[in-house]
């Protein structure tokens, strides 16, 4: 129970990585607000699982690329929890499109959710924390794509590279308020976004050729690192860092 009494908000928490993180935080003693965009039933199921661990849970619908939605979500989460100690910025989108075929609309859709949304949610939650004098931790879910390029993912990788610097800037500017900010950069993790890709033998073979440990992760593989970063007792000197959980993928470089 390393996070007993802590209060967390997880965006994109209704499925895959977000679900695993929300449940993992509850298992370690935290009360958790689960943000979702459209999958209410899935979010409600996550809340039931959280409550099964004896913790408080609440599902809040909001689009993280909308400032009014973000401000409402942060207000509702802060009120329900009585303050926020942990934010996990996780909501994201992915679409594979060749560089020459990316439309302005698709570019904006990707950057607005995967980067601008992190900024807006982080800012809104930080304002509540600073207003309450609450110390805590932000964890931005990034990707190995912040460090290496990938075919047909220009907009996605650019957004993730932006998360790396956003994490450093937030860490620097929130440090006086005792709010630590770090990023996790997973490699190939099987989720709802890429399950069909991984099932394609040619895609799988190409990706596995670049993974030294020859392992494809599952969402639960990320929970330990999230709990570690959220725990003051274990990571109080870590801020502005990106931790790669990629089975060695970035060893190869580009």
Q: How many residues does the chain have?
A: 254
Contact 11, 121 (CB under 8 A): yes
Coil, strand, or helix at residue 3?
coil
- The first and second tokens of residue 141, run together, are 């879910």
**What is the DSSP track for 175-191?**
GGGTEEEEEEEE-SB--
- The first and second tokens of residue 66, run together, are 């909308």
Helices (H) and strands (E) in the chain, counts: 10, 7
Catalytic choice (36, 53, 118, 156): 156
The span from the CA of 18 to the CA of 44, in Å, is 13
Cα distances from 111 to residues 1, 50, 92, 108, 156, in angstroms, run 36, 31, 9, 5, 7
Contact 102, 154 (CB under 8 A): yes
- The first and second tokens of residue 73, run together, are 């979500």
Contact 2, 205 (CB under 8 A): no
- Residue 41: φ, ψ to 5°: -60, -40
User: 156 an active-site residue?
Assistant: yes
Active centre residues (catalytic): 156
């Amino acid at each position: 129970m390393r996070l007993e009494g802590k209060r967390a908000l997880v965006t994109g928490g209704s499925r895959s990585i977000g679900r695993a993180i929300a449940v993992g935080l509850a298992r370690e003693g935290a009360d958790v607000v689960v943000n979702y965009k459209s999958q209410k039933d899935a979010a409600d199921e996550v809340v039931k699982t959280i409550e099964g661990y004896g913790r408080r849970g609440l599902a809040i619908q909001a689009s993280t690329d909308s400032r009014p939605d973000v401000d409402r979500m942060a207000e509702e989460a802060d009120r329900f929890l009585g303050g926020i100690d942990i934010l996990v910025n996780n909501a994201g989108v992915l679409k594979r499109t060749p560089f020459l075929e990316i439309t302005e609309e698709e570019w904006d859709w990707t950057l607005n959710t995967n980067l601008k949304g992190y900024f807006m949610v982080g800012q809104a939650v930080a304002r509540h924390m600073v207003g309450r004098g609450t110390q805590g931790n932000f964890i931005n879910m990034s990707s190995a794509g912040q460090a290496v390029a990938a075919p047909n993912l220009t907009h996605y990788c650019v957004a993730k590279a932006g998360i790396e610097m956003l994490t450093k800037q937030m860490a620097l500017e929130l440090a006086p308020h005792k709010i630590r900010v770090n990023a996790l950069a997973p490699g190939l993790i099987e989720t709802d976004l890429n399950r069909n890709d991984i099932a394609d033998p040619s895609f799988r073979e190409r990706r596995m050729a670049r993974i030294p440990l020859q392992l494809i992760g599952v969402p639960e593989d990320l929970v330990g690192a999230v709990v570690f970063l959220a725990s003051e007792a274990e990571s109080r000197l870590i801020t502005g860092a990106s931790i790669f959980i990629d089975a060695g993928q970035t060893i190869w470089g580009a």
